[in-house]
Amino acid sequence: MKAAALLIALSTLLLGACAAKMSKDECRTVDWRTVGYEDGVAGRPGDRIGEHRRACAEYGVTPDLNAYLAGRTAGLREYCQPHNGYRAGANGYTYFDTCPADLAEAFEIAYDEGRALYVRERRVTDTEEQIEDKRREIRRLEDRVAESAFDVIDTTSTAEERTQAVLDTKQAAERIGRLKAEITELERERARYQAELDAYRQTVVLR
């Protein structure tokens, strides 16, 4: 299982570069069945062959479509297994509806299970990021309040500057209060999302 996952990851990286940067010699000598297999085992969409065709067109090379399709079919049968579907969903990858009919149902069920886990994890993470963003803003506002307080007591400040400093302090304090209320609400949401995630992890079949 680990070897298959590694193969998928490597083929995703290597073929992505290959399709965009194939040299003249590569276009002329490449094994199109292998290219098709790598696309299939990575679960890429069927129109991927168009990228290869465009990459080699300037060299006057046309992909061997039959060899490519034969390789892709073999690769898809390896890719379209439930454990790969679950992993793809859990990592937030897009499924391009590529699996053959006899493998699609089991793959898609597993993909949906993984995707549901991904969505729940993202809710927790996104909420935590929002909380941290608001905390950073509070720290910036607190620094501004401190600066304004200095302007208020600074004997060299003009009356206008002191008035503006007091106004800035009031506005910053009000904003800090709103941010703290928002953080409280977000923390409640995070706790709820975390509970939903924990409950889902207890029910889903880990693959």
The model's pTM is 0.75
Query: How is 80-128 classified by DSSP, letter by letter?
Result: -SHHHHHHHHHTTPPP-S-S-HHHHHHHHHHHHHHHHHHHHHHHHHHHH
Alpha carbon separation from 67 to 47, 107, 149 (Å, rounded): 15, 25, 75
The CA distance from 32 to 194, in Å, is 47
Instruction: Spell out the alpha helix ranges (H) of the chain.
Output: 2-21, 24-29, 32-41, 48-57, 65-79, 82-90, 101-153, 159-203
pLDDT at 19 over 60: no
Average pLDDT over residues 81-98: 96
pLDDT at 150 over 80: no
Percent pLDDT > 70 in the chain is 83
